[in-house]
Amino acid sequence: MKYYLIVGEASGDLHASHLMKSLKNIDNAAQFRFFGGDLMAAVGGLRVKHYKELAYMGFVPVLLHLPTIFRNMALCKQDIVAWAPDVVILVDYPGFNLDIAKYLHAHTQIPAYYYISPKIWAWKEWRIKSIKRDVAQMFSILPFEVPFYEQKHKFKIHYVGNPTADEVRVFRRNYAETFEQFCARSNASAAPGDKGNGLSPHQPVIALLAGSRKQEIKDNLPAMIEAARSYPDYQMVLAGAPAIEDEYYHRFISGTRVKLVRNDTYALLSHATAALVTSGTATLETALFDVPQVVCYETPVPWLIRFAFNHIIRCKYISLVNLIADREIVPELLADRFSTANIRAELGRILPGNPARERMLQAYQQVRDALGDAVAPDNAARIMYRLLAGRQPE
């Protein structure tokens, strides 16, 4: 069969590449064409556009690039029609992908399958109308989305498992490096003037996961460092994001005790005693590695953000850990709760010897149980193929 995939950012490229591999395993005749990234290209098929040519974040960048965005949308629609795939698989990126789904429904007989649902349970819930009209099948990776779609909005979806849970499970099963070996490896980047790259095998680690975008890092990392430095018996190790250059990190860590480790977040979490984490998938990864954490997210106009959470935004939490558990397992310090003093205090509560640490570790099991052990891309590929072949999934 012919599969057309559309992603708009690095995480979508990763998840779509895994889905493509799973589809190839189940469909020997699979052909791919896509708007995507390097990981998808490595699987095979023809890339029409790189997602970096699509991704504009924020109101002003989007406004400035509207002509380019409209041209890319038009190109995508024309290319889909010309290639005539059996299905178009949309991966997150709702601003672009929901417009494509609308076009497909109105002008073609090509079904739109959505892999990794837009987060309409948090924001823009009104999009459910277009999803129910334009999306033929929804494939979710978050278990709490099932009651949201099926009970609240009467829209049947497929929960296929969580790819992050599977990736962590595979890593932990195969990772055998000792803490001493991890510390000795020279894959940490030293700040200017720091001659040593290696970490100390004699000090436990507080991991700093400050986000994947420069604005997140600028907003959160200084307070994280200031809070963690209050615990001198621990070494601070910063997980570097792939798209952020060392020079940018060194603006914040130069002259501090912070070490930078690149492309090794899972190994870092394997050995961390505690973590300070900016909200996102990293909160779930940290929990799945059994590392107690404090979620930190600085926002502009804190009082307005708090008002929005109380009266406008549809979800109670910002971390996937708490959203999946539907209760506060990890502390969330955002808006008016974000301060160095609060981060320092919450961090102290989850270090060894404190009851809050043990309670958090025990509660992580609830998150694992909710996610299940299905391999998300394999499960999604199996269901997609059966549906497209005219057979109902098992």
- Inside any domain, residue 203: yes
Q: What is the pLDDT of residues 366-385, one digit of tens each?
A: 999 999 999 999 999 999 99
Left (φ > 0), alpha (ψ -120 to 50) or beta: where does 269 sit?
Answer: alpha
- Inside any domain, residue 198: yes
Q: Identify the CATH number of the domain in which residue 64 sits.
A: 3.40.50.2000
Q: What is the pLDDT of residues 202-228, one digit of tens each?
A: 999 999 999 888 888 999 999 999 999
Q: Which pLDDT does position 193 carry in this prediction? A: 45
Q: What is the pLDDT of residues 162-198, one digit of tens each?
A: 999 999 999 999 999 999 999 987 444 444 444 444 7
Domain count, the chain: 2
Going by the DSSP 8-state scheme, the letter that residue 157 receives in this structure is: -
Between CA 40 and CA 192 the distance in angstroms is 36
- Inside any domain, residue 321: yes
- Inside any domain, residue 394: no
Q: What is the DSSP string of 38-98?
A: HHHHHH-SEEEEEGGGT---SHHHHHHTHHHHHHHHHHHHHHHHHH--SEEEEES-HHHHH
* pLDDT over 60 (residue 303): no
Q: Which pLDDT does position 174 carry in this prediction? A: 97
The residue written with tokens 């556009």 in the block is: 49
* pLDDT over 70 (residue 18): yes
**Pairing between strand 87-91 and 112-115?**
parallel
Phi, psi for 190 (deg, rounded to 5): -80, 145
* Mean pLDDT value across residues 33-57: 87
* Comparison of pLDDT for 34 and 57, the residue scoring more: 34
Do both 187 and 261 map to the same domain? yes
3-state secondary structure of 390: coil
Sign (positive or negative) of CA dihedral 382, 385, 389, 391: positive
Q: Which pLDDT does position 212 carry in this prediction? A: 82
Do both 236 and 140 map to the same domain? no
Q: Which pLDDT does position 334 carry in this prediction? A: 86
Residue 138 identity (one-letter amino acid)? M
Q: Which pLDDT does position 65 carry in this prediction? A: 52
Do both 213 and 240 map to the same domain? yes
Mean pLDDT lowest for which of 100-104, 258-262, 309-313, 386-390?
A: 309-313
- Inside any domain, residue 393: no
Between CA 45 and CA 47 the distance in angstroms is 7
Percent of the chain with pLDDT over 70: 88
* Comparison of pLDDT for 185 and 145, the residue scoring more: 145
Q: What is the pLDDT of residues 151-163, one digit of tens each?
A: 999 999 999 999 9
- Inside any domain, residue 317: yes
Do both 352 and 383 map to the same domain? no
Do both 143 and 250 map to the same domain? no
Do both 221 and 135 map to the same domain? no
- For 270, residues 6+ apart whose C-beta sits below 8 A from its C-beta are 171, 172, 175, 177, 182, 289
Range of the domain at 351: 166-371
Percent of the chain with pLDDT over 90: 75
Do both 57 and 148 map to the same domain? yes
Q: What is the pLDDT of residues 270-298, one digit of tens each?
A: 999 999 999 788 999 999 999 999 999 88
Residue 373 CA, distance from chain mean position: 18
Do both 144 and 126 map to the same domain? yes
Beta strands in the chain (DSSP E): 2-6, 31-36, 46-50, 87-91, 112-115, 137-140, 158-159, 188-189, 205-209, 235-240, 259-262, 272-278, 293-297, 332-334
| Cβ atoms of residues 272 and 237 within 8 Å | yes
Q: Which pLDDT does position 274 carry in this prediction? A: 98
pTM for this entry: 0.85
- For 211, residues 6+ apart whose C-beta sits below 8 A from its C-beta are 217, 220, 241, 278, 280, 282
Residue 35 CA, distance from chain mean position: 19
Between CA 16 and CA 91 the distance in angstroms is 7
Q: What is the pLDDT of residues 81-119, one digit of tens each?
A: 999 999 999 998 898 999 999 999 999 999 999 999 998
Q: Which pLDDT does position 313 carry in this prediction? A: 59
* pLDDT over 70 (residue 201): yes
Do both 346 and 381 map to the same domain? no
* pLDDT over 50 (residue 267): yes
Going by the DSSP 8-state scheme, the letter that residue 149 receives in this structure is: I
- Inside any domain, residue 320: yes
Do both 323 and 379 map to the same domain? no
* pLDDT over 90 (residue 20): yes
Do both 382 and 365 map to the same domain? no
Give the mean pLDDT of the chain. 89
- Inside any domain, residue 313: yes
Q: Which pLDDT does position 55 carry in this prediction? A: 53
Q: Which pLDDT does position 58 carry in this prediction? A: 47
Q: What is the pLDDT of residues 56-75, one digit of tens each?
A: 444 445 555 566 777 889 99
Do both 134 and 205 map to the same domain? no
| Cβ atoms of residues 87 and 3 within 8 Å | yes
